[in-house]
A and B are shown apart, each in its own frame.
Chain A
Amino acid sequence: MSEKRELQRQGFINFLRTIQKAGLPVESLSDSDKLVASGLVDSLAILQIVMYLENTYGINFSVIGFDPEQLGSIGNILDLIEREKP
């Protein structure tokens, strides 16, 4: 993993800690685990993730469109950041 991606990952993990439900440590998730299905976040938290990506990386979902799968896991989200903000 590149240093840049690792930093982005750490930033996103720190953000997840502020919105996650209590029962599951975020560290226990792999990058491919589903955020909602694992129980880490509420399904409506997807909106908070969108706002994080808009505010932190300037990704404009009204331009690129929205695909829930893109935000399904930590890995997918990091891929999205890399694609939109290389």
Chain B
Amino acid sequence: MLFDLSVGNLIEPVSGRRWDQPEISGQVTRRIARFQKYGLAPKDRVFLAFGNRLEFFAELLAVWRLGGCAIPIDSRLTAFEVENLVRAAAPGLAVVDDETPADIIQTLSAAGVRVILTTDIDAHESSASFIHMDSDALILFTSGSTGDPKGVVHTHRSLRARWMSLRDHLGTAAFRKTLCMLPTHFGHGLICNSLFPWLSGQDLYITQPFRPDLVMRLGTLIDENGITFMSSVPAIWRLALKLARPPQLGTLQRVHCGSAPLSAHVWEDIRRWTGTKNVCNAYGITETGSWVAGLADADVPAEDGLIGQGWGAVIQVLHTNDTSRTLEPKDRCAPGQSGYVWLNTPAVMKGYFQRDDLTSQAVIDGWFMTGDIGVLDDQGRLVLRGRERDEINKGGMKVFPSDIDAVVERFDRTNDVCTFALDDLIYGQNVGIAVVLQDRSDATICALYAWMKSHLSESKMPMRWWIIDEIPRTSRGKINRDSVKAACQDLVPLDLPGILGRAAS
């Protein structure tokens, strides 16, 4: 249909809803008719403010067929964050579902965006075919929801390059019944876990994301639906390995884990639990269309950080992370020598949405500087050693400290702030924050908490707080988040629940 001649079936295994190909075709063409009624034209941008249900995929195809650009957004964003994204992306239309909060709909409407309920579709059908390969297809906002949004723009060409590469390296047989439990506003969940199999004609089983109750019965879900492939993140696996009974029927043929570091120990545990050796640590970055490297045949001994070879990408480990000059052969690290990971792939993004400044800091001559540190071993396999990106990897979802700092700085009684990553048993990392306030009264702390709650989505709210006298700085006056974290960990964190409880009583 888009990538191949037909799409697969769409199934919600929890609700039992199922759309076969004729139904999907009708759902798409009725939405095309509805979008035409609303005047959607090629190059128009459309917010998809919901996800992980059958209708999401019909909306996406309808937008694409009309030549539009889809912008899936996290349904958990606050009204403040949505307003900020609207200001940046200027969508003409937004599609919501029956669970979209009223304040989000109000914010969209107040900003002049026409809001459509996904189930509000025309009775008649219409067709359209305005897809141009180099038109913008997808924008995924990865950070800056509270300040200057950073949106990764993929064209139809870059997306197809990613899917074609995956098909060449992995085939489609193992993806015959694919389960996606990851969010569809997330590159990993949308581009690779969902769209690659589905647009290749394989069946897609979609659930709501990060639902522990589903993870706890993952083995049953796999058996009942004969799932052959799934991808997830280490935090979800930690939960499944501990609390879910393993699948019994041996249907899984391939399993991916990505978006956060995977230890050899957890890797082997996943193999035991799933009953397949073909468990792969898939390396993906939204800017390269997600999965860009891994092991095609993953039946090798697990190693901390082992990724594998590029899937439609040339991987180089270089001494430099400088994107202001042309790369040269002398920049290359020797095998086994640690350096910056760079990727060259036709699936690289077009750029960051209306942020050429950021694009030029990340891409030079088609080479994308990942911000990851790694080595190429003597077999040419990539092994990750760490990250230099300023982000908190909370169970695979990236939280950017600067997004939180930007909100706290705007609180009228903040003198200084630093957000940093905390080690977390469940998520791998969680959010910690050190704040210097004009006063430490309960009233000020409660007011700051209320301010943050109204501006930050739940996933960005800090887990631990420290109110301190001064944020430590380097001799050059800069903040080193690791140093602030180290300083805070010698101090007692704020008893925020106690303060809020006293204020409420």
Dominant secondary structure of chain A at its interface with chain B? helix
Distance in Å: Cβ of A71 to nearest Cβ of chain B: 10
**A 15-31 to B, binary, CB cutoff 8 A, 1 in contact else 0:** 00100111111111000
- Of A23, A46, A61, which is within 8 A of B500 by CB? A23
Nearest CB to that of B505 among chain A residues?
A25
- Please judge, given known A-B contacts A44-B239, A50-B242, whether A68 and B213 are in contact too, CB under 8 Å: yes
**Count of CB-CB pairs between chains A and B under 8 Å:** 62
Nearest CB to that of A44 among chain B residues?
B426
Complex-state Cα separation, A56 to B427, whole angstroms: 22
Which residues from chain B contact A20 at a C-beta distance below 8 Å? Answer: 497
> Is A66 located at the chain interface by the 8 A CB criterion?
yes
Which residues from chain B contact A78 at a C-beta distance below 8 Å? Answer: none
Complex-state Cα separation, A61 to B241, whole angstroms: 12
Which residues from chain A contact B213 at a C-beta distance below 8 Å? Answer: 43, 68
Complex-state Cα separation, A24 to B213, whole angstroms: 22
Complex-state Cα separation, A75 to B286, whole angstroms: 44
Nearest CB to that of A51 among chain B residues?
B425
Which residues from chain A contact B504 at a C-beta distance below 8 Å? Answer: 25, 28
- Please judge, given known A-B contacts A21-B461, A66-B243, A68-B213, whether A47 and B238 are in contact too, CB under 8 Å: yes
Complex-state Cα separation, A34 to B242, whole angstroms: 21
The answer to whether B243 touches A25 (Cβ under 8 A) is no
> Is A45 located at the chain interface by the 8 A CB criterion?
yes
> Is A48 located at the chain interface by the 8 A CB criterion?
yes
The answer to whether B216 touches A25 (Cβ under 8 A) is no
Distance in Å: Cβ of A46 to nearest Cβ of chain B: 6
The answer to whether A22 touches B500 (Cβ under 8 A) is yes
The answer to whether B243 touches A61 (Cβ under 8 A) is yes
The answer to whether A48 touches B453 (Cβ under 8 A) is no
> Is B496 located at the chain interface by the 8 A CB criterion?
yes
**B 450-462 to A, binary, CB cutoff 8 A, 1 in contact else 0:** 0001000000010
Leading 7 A-B pairs by shortest Cβ distance: A25-B501, A22-B496, A43-B212, A66-B243, A44-B426, A47-B239, A22-B497
